[in-house]
Structure 1
């Protein structure tokens, strides 16, 4: 009877460890190196992997007491609190199938052997991870070949690829709206910007009857964007502003810059528009942009700016908020002009640009002005939104975790601006809490370990006439 209990418990325990492993891997795009070296909450690794494994091997039969009355309840509570839980994709299901087979195979071998002391944990987990990774690479190779053939067979399709440290999703949406006034276009959905995501998008979603395909290119390692450039082979490229976003992966700004510049190595490149922050040497194909932008005026009602184009200054107006959006729109204006659109058509399109969700989009609720900038996670954009909020005449409340995947200095500098602008600062999460707390002197401060009590706190602390800015948002594993 005890052998049956031990067998069942071992299978359950191993699957739970696999659940934690796959949750962490899914957050970091199945990059084992990133889960090991760049995981933000290392103590989760200790609580849900290393300590349980040690207890299992060292505590004998008493390990089951710990596993059933400590580990499993903690894991269930932890999983329920996640704002980004494990998604049971086909890849995840295949991993669990491999894991279950490996567990059963090992356990029955152990039962058949007189020398087996206990059921192993690490071997089935390691084997299933290796087999799963190999199998997924085989599958991806097939998907990649299929997508590559589709693109090669559509030689008349104009492909525009966009990368930047920040702002690339906004640029994508702005460019799609402007170009749609003349062309039939399709752009990648959501935040799809990896090679795997783009391959899947081409295979499953790319329409037949379009003239232009607009895609984002993201990176966490050098070479990521080179792979995307090789796959898409875009004729038009936008490389937006570069900053220290994701510097924990790249270590230096120079490495970030060089990675972004990989996009211009497309074999079909005709036009590349590269922001001046990259300090490039322009050519007939590669154009530096940024200095064309003049007299930007950003208010809570919209943004006006001038662009030096076609040898003269032209005025533009948009309902979009934030000075930084003028830089993003500028790149779209230049691309639209290069593709032959008339200036007046471009102006009308800029004027009618819709707000992009969670990127400084305003709403009024109960007499309060709410600015949702929760997808803006870079210093220059966040600081610009704070300067914009300063123009509000009433009280100003900030909800933010600070800048994620950046350095201490940037959060210290951001705290100085918070001091100047806000009456109340609500810090969500622990990642940057101590850095921000050291710098904040003037505002009333609330610290939330997670976003669980945020709604109740805002109802208590805010009233009609206030401005509430949601600045950046981070899942609770960061």
Structure 2
């Protein structure tokens, strides 16, 4: 956030300079700032990770600071920061290119490796995990871990963790700008590609939905494409090796595009499972949320193409576990907890609300609203939350004003800090409640 630069750097720095020039007590500002920084660190609910890149930057900055202090008898702050920034850029560029060449050689040496590339506005990680799980029945599979989906992250994964006897490598690809996915796709060159649901996620980076679609479709720039499955939201015409899939309910009768080749129909979502029909075959999995039907369908299509039978696929679906923090059910203390804290899109949020509405008891939602979207979507979230839930807890200030306008005052609870979360849960919830963490959750969950 832009204002962080002012609050945490420029204002303290200006105060330090002012005190230093008017007195000999500039060190007091430094001590107070360090004390406040330590308090902030102690309040973190997740550990602060010092990456190699950050360590190199700080090492360069400190060396420059020490050199300037002793060489010129001057204590400098800004100059070491800028020098460290530009020199670290140069160093990281050299290291990056070296890592890339090493990763490319490793992939080229794995002659029998099949690569499956996955992208979407949301649902990428779920699709990746579902495909990896299903294909394990027949192949030695490996998938990029967690939400690793940048070129640098994939390169590191290939160099450090990709087993050399892997038969199928499932790669998630994300983007914050045009060209990002093209870089990853031309690097790993997948034979099989899935483009999941496309929506307004990260619209502030892409500006338009057309830019988002174009960027996601960069995944087709692989030089060895055999088959691709693209969700209907991408609005592309099927080709010989590019197939479309989607829901019948989402069809636009005014659209010049034909219906999806692979139709997802009769979706049923409960607090125990999700089931759907794909081209006449019924599938079910202990995965929550109607929106997951399209993610599961994508995994089924890839599995069938790679030789798994319907029986093998259904057997794999029956043992499929929910992705952590994505509509993950936890039964604890007599309460039903739905941890959907890693879901930050409108479709997933509305689906989780719809799922919660099937619960007969008291319902509580804890959410900051949606981030990186426009206010209109948060208005939808606030209205639906007011309609379904008995208690609506809003974390932080980002969207509180919207929720305050559209949620009944007796339902609304504001939580300023996550440190207050545990005591709030004791006060506001009771055995028998359903608690949905939507787009946010403390680590103790």
> TM-score with structure 2 length normalisation?
0.92
For 1:399, the equivalent position in structure 2 comes to 366
The alpha-carbon distance between structure 1 residues 128 and 232, as it changes in their structure 2 partners (threshold 3 A), is same
For 1:446, the equivalent position in structure 2 comes to 413
Question: Residue 404 of structure 1 contacts residue 474 of structure 1 at CA under 8 Å; is this kept in 2?
Answer: no
For 1:302, the equivalent position in structure 2 comes to 273
1:374 aligns with 2:364: no
Question: Residue 122 of structure 2 contacts residue 198 of structure 2 at CA under 8 Å; is this kept in 1?
Answer: yes
For 2:229, the equivalent position in structure 1 comes to 273
| Separation of aligned partners in 1, 2:99 and 2:323 | 31
Question: Residue 110 of structure 2 contacts residue 164 of structure 2 at CA under 8 Å; is this kept in 1?
Answer: no
Aligned counterpart for 2:403 among listed residues 426, 431, 436: 436
| Separation of aligned partners in 1, 2:139 and 2:324 | 24
| Separation of aligned partners in 2, 1:475 and 1:147 | 36
1:73 aligns with 2:35: yes
Alpha-carbon deviations, 1:332-353, whole Å to 9, x = none? 1111111121122112222221
Question: Residue 147 of structure 1 contacts residue 203 of structure 1 at CA under 8 Å; is this kept in 2?
Answer: yes
The alpha-carbon distance between structure 1 residues 63 and 241, as it changes in their structure 2 partners (threshold 3 A), is farther
| Separation of aligned partners in 1, 2:270 and 2:208 | 34
Aligned counterpart for 1:177 among listed residues 106, 115, 133: 133
| Separation of aligned partners in 1, 2:99 and 2:400 | 43
1:255 aligns with 2:211: yes
Alpha-carbon deviations, 1:193-251, whole Å to 9, x = none? 11111101000101121210001101111111111011111111111101111111112
The alpha-carbon distance between structure 1 residues 442 and 288, as it changes in their structure 2 partners (threshold 3 A), is farther
| Separation of aligned partners in 2, 1:150 and 1:448 | 49
* 1:85 positional shift: 5.3
For 2:331, the equivalent position in structure 1 comes to 364
Question: Residue 401 of structure 1 contacts residue 474 of structure 1 at CA under 8 Å; is this kept in 2?
Answer: no
SS in 1 for 2:419: coil
SS in 1 for 2:437: strand
Aligned counterpart for 2:80 among listed residues 124, 128, 136: 124
* 1:48 positional shift: 1.9
Query: After the TM superposition, which of the residue ranges 270-279 and 429-438 deviates more from structure 2?
Result: 429-438
> TM-score with structure 1 length normalisation?
0.86
| Separation of aligned partners in 1, 2:45 and 2:237 | 44
Map 1:161-172 → 2, pairs under 5 A: 161-172=117-128
For 1:284, the equivalent position in structure 2 comes to 240
Aligned counterpart for 1:105 among listed residues 45, 56, 67: 67
Question: Residue 200 of structure 2 contacts residue 209 of structure 2 at CA under 8 Å; is this kept in 1?
Answer: yes
1:43 aligns with 2:3: yes
For 2:114, the equivalent position in structure 1 comes to 158
For 1:227, the equivalent position in structure 2 comes to 183
| Separation of aligned partners in 2, 1:208 and 1:387 | 44
For 2:386, the equivalent position in structure 1 comes to 419
| Separation of aligned partners in 1, 2:141 and 2:7 | 48
* 1:69 positional shift: 5.1
| Separation of aligned partners in 1, 2:308 and 2:286 | 21
| Separation of aligned partners in 2, 1:368 and 1:234 | 44
1:88 aligns with 2:50: yes
Question: Residue 316 of structure 1 contacts residue 351 of structure 1 at CA under 8 Å; is this kept in 2?
Answer: no
Total equivalences in the alignment: 426
| Separation of aligned partners in 2, 1:164 and 1:474 | 23
Question: Residue 16 of structure 2 contacts residue 30 of structure 2 at CA under 8 Å; is this kept in 1?
Answer: no
Question: Residue 364 of structure 2 contacts residue 390 of structure 2 at CA under 8 Å; is this kept in 1?
Answer: yes
| Separation of aligned partners in 2, 1:166 and 1:470 | 18
For 2:26, the equivalent position in structure 1 comes to 64
| Separation of aligned partners in 2, 1:275 and 1:287 | 9
Query: After the TM superposition, which of the residue ranges 362-371 and 195-204 deviates more from structure 2?
Result: 362-371
1:410 aligns with 2:369: no
* 1:153 positional shift: 1.5
Question: Residue 322 of structure 1 contacts residue 388 of structure 1 at CA under 8 Å; is this kept in 2?
Answer: yes
